[in-house]
Amino acid sequence: MTSRRRPPAGAAEPRAGAPDEASGIRTYRMVDRSDRLDFEIRDHTVRPPVVMPHRHEFFQIEANVSGEAHHVLAGKRCRYPARSLIFILPYRVHYAAHEPGASEYYVINFATNFLRHDFDLSPLDMEEASIAEYPELTPFLYEGHVDFVFGERDFRHVLALLQHLAVLHRDRKLGTIERIRGALLELIGFTVERYADELEALSGRRVYMQGRTDALRRVLKFIDEHLQRDISLNEVAEAAFLSPNYLSQLLKKQTGMAFVEWLTARRMERAQHLLSHTGERIFAVANAVGFADEAYFTRRFRQRFGQSPSGYRKAMRGS
């Protein structure tokens, strides 16, 4: 971001549960749903689930322990019986509905770079990730095509992992994050192993939940490649051979986010990585993710994550 003024939008930085007024679909951030910005697990006693179609910027795994339920993913009603898991990729419109008062369930939320520090896929590119390169994404990619329902014995293992994660999350110390990551990978890996045949067959047929236009793909690629400098809507639109206004609408429709919102989200994800894994000064981190003004960067960071960049760095190093 150089000297040019950078822009806003009616759809500013998502406030708690980003209101998408056009569609009524909200986009939640970790800070909206969790005290922690990296990982959270909670059960049905903590708070009711969101029962309206919504998206989030993070990964989500839901586990229905008992009781009738169903979930709706991208408008398609899917099974979600007792002893089953559902895996939700960032930005997928979905919701789960449980039988009132009768269901027991767990919800796990985790940030996009929680499993791998070097995770470099843009959220929308995740939908077409290779399962050889990103095996941990497999159940997320094929949610809606496979019902991840377990037998009693297998689910005992799943439930034990969930309970273990809940205990770890409740009392974090130095090293706990690594244990949480390990247990989470075990949960995902266990699921992938149990459904390996179906998942490999789907992967072989290159079945995806939804395709996106080439134009949008060009846009997201361009944004990711130029995050570190000033990018204007006009420039991106030109690179994607679209009109700026149409690009604005397209992005909103596909992601629920306005151009600057999306750009800032990607910038902040990269900033989080730099803060937790390098000793770069705040000024340098701000510059590296395209903010010429560290002050402004700090404010946007706090707005998004509920804490300052330095506070975030301390928290990450301490946990």
Partner DNA sequence: AACTGATCGACTCCAACCCG
Partner DNA sequence: CGGGTTGGAGTCGATCAGTT
- Pick the stretch among 11-19, 131-139, 166-174, 182-190 that binds DNA (CB under 7 A): 11-19
Q: Which residue in the set 182, 210, 310, 317 belongs to the binding site for DNA (CB under 7 A)?
A: 310
Asked whether position 249 contacts DNA by CB under 7 A, the answer is: yes
Asked whether position 246 contacts DNA by CB under 7 A, the answer is: yes
Tell me whether strands 54-56 and 69-73 are parallel, antiparallel or unpaired. Answer: unpaired
Q: Which is nearer to DNA, 163 or 245 (CB)?
A: 245
Distance of closest approach, residue 206 Cβ to DNA, in angstroms? 20
Q: Are 311 and 37 in contact (CB under 8 A)?
A: no
Asked whether position 187 contacts DNA by CB under 7 A, the answer is: no
| Interface positions, 253-292, toward DNA (CB under 7 A) | 258-260, 264, 281-283, 291-292
Q: Which is nearer to DNA, 60 or 255 (CB)?
A: 255
Tell me whether strands 69-73 and 76-79 are parallel, antiparallel or unpaired. Answer: antiparallel
Q: CA–CA separation, 122 vs 133, rounded Å?
A: 15
Burial status of residue 172 (CB atoms within 10 A of its CB: 0-12, 13-18, 19 or more): middle
For every residue of 148-191, DSSP letters joined together read: EE--HHHHHHHHHHHHHHHHHHHT--TTHHHHHHHHHHHHHHHH
Q: Which residue in the set 117, 173, 277, 299 belongs to the binding site for DNA (CB under 7 A)?
A: 299
Q: Which of 162, 160, 154, 153 is nearest to 61 (CA)?
A: 162
Q: Which residue carries 């520090």 as its tokens?
A: 117
Distance of closest approach, residue 316 Cβ to DNA, in angstroms? 14
Q: Which is nearer to DNA, 97 or 292 (CB)?
A: 292
Footprint on this chain of DNA (rule: CB under 7 A): 1-13, 21-22, 213, 215, 230, 232-234, 242-246, 248-250, 252, 258-260, 264, 281-283, 291-296, 298-300, 302, 308-311
